[in-house]
Amino acid sequence: MFDEAFRSSLDALLEPADAQAARFPGEAATRQPVHTVYVPADQFGVSTCTEWGEQALALLASSAPTPVSLAGAAGLDPLLIEDVYPRLTTKLASQPIEDLRIDFEDGYGLRPDSEEDAAASAAGAALAELSRRPDAPLLAGTRIKGLQAATRWRGLRTLGLLVSEAVSQGGLPSRFVVTLPKVAHVAEVHAGVQVLEHLETSLGLAAGSLRLELQIEVPQAVYSPDGAAAVARLVHAGSGRIEGLHYGTYDFSAAAGVVAGYQSLEHPLADHAKAVMQLAAAQTGVRVSDGSTNVIPVGSAAEVAAAWRLHARLVGRALGRALYQGWDLHPGHLVTRYAATYEFYRGQLAPSTARLKAYTEKAATGVMDEPATAQALANAVLRAVECGACDDAEVLAASGLDRTGLLALARR
């Protein structure tokens, strides 16, 4: 019925649709960290991750030494926290930071060139050594000063020094990310790609091994002057190098005119911006990260508990909105980052595994899940296993699926 001429003409007609589909390959196959920690460059060293874990454990021991006390202090589910607490302490002792950025931007500030040069070289050497340690982060990288005219060449000089020193000292982490702050125009993404290509060629690195991360900190990064979704253009300008989009809570809020007392991850403008970012990045393999809270758990017991309660609530809120990553600014945030994350995933574990079991066994239940829902369920369970909220044996017993089966359903 459909001869070759008709088939060829239809294929030609659908070429634009086929080309667009190729730009949306689906979920990235790599594991997404649950958070990113920004450490000022002059405070970063080989032992930074270990020290953050030790400080988090010390705060937990002094402020919430039992599951019940942590549930009360952070406002977590006392039933789930019994399983969460030992997993939390194990995580803080083994891999307290999943994603690390050595910060040469806002957290570092403006320094004499000689001082920043020395800090960049020292950071590169330390990063190379850190990547060989057992508690090394899943991802690591640096946030340089932006590509705007006033800071462009200082930022790029720092990047070059850091990367070349790390390579000379044994190599970069396997997943190395360069964060570009205050991105406002697609030309900055094109320039970032060109810089990374130049570094790879100059230093003999594998093509595509250096990744980019874009901080969305100004409204024009979300909407362009013609009203289009500028962030979608940013994602697709990255030539496959974009690791993630990170929402910058306070810069974005200030640029949007929000007064200081109302700047928050929960502000309606924040929620709107993040929703646009999520839709722009969906099915591209680019991850979206929530921002941070600047309320840190220090001071009296009441002050620590208040900060933990706020942070735990914000983490849970973000997870429920499909933002599986956020920023942490203080070692004490690690306690509630993992506790709230584990609580969320463990709360979803029993119903998710039951539905997966019913789906794979084609059992008759009151819910008719489609392949897309099974994919989402498998991805949620994989995230739980990968971050430490549960383990493979637990999932296998509940769902009948091993890691290979989950990966197949998740289409990774």
CA–CA dist 315, 294 (Å, integer) = 13
Confidence of residue 364 (pLDDT cuts 50, 70, 90): low
DSSP-assigned states of every residue in 203-259:
HTPPTT-EEEEEEE-SGGGTB-TTSSBHHHHHHHTSTT-EEEEEE-HHHHHHHTT--
Residue 362 pLDDT: 80
Task: State residue 368's pLDDT score.
Answer: 64
Give the pLDDT of residue 221.
97
Average pLDDT taken over every residue of the chain: 95
Residue 320: pLDDT over 80:
yes
116 in Cβ contact with 54 (< 8 Å)? no
Residue range(s) of every CATH 3.20.20.60 domain in the chain: 27-347
Instruction: Look at residue 367 and tell me whether its pLDDT is greater than 80.
Output: no
Contact indicator for 204, 243 with CB cutoff of 8 Å:
no
Q: Does 327 have pLDDT greater than 90?
A: yes
Question: How sure is the predictor about 34, in pLDDT bands with cuts at 50, 70 and 90?
Answer: very high
Between 392-399 and 371-387, two packed helices, what is the crossing angle to 10 degrees?
A: 150
Mean pLDDT of 62-81: 96
Q: Which of 329, 388, 300 is nearest to 52 (CA)?
A: 329
CATH code for the domain defined by 27-347: 3.20.20.60
Has residue 215 got a pLDDT over 90?
yes
What is the mean pLDDT of the segment spanning 23-51? Answer: 94
pLDDT (tens digit per residue) in 252-290: 999 999 999 999 999 999 999 999 999 999 999 999 999
pLDDT digits (tens, 9 = 90+) for 226-241: 999 999 999 999 999 9
Radius of gyration of the chain, Cα coordinates, nearest whole angstrom:
22
**pLDDT above 90 covers what percent of the chain?**
89
Q: What is the pLDDT of residues 112-127, one digit of tens each?
A: 999 999 999 999 999 9
Token pair, residue 344, equals 């969320």
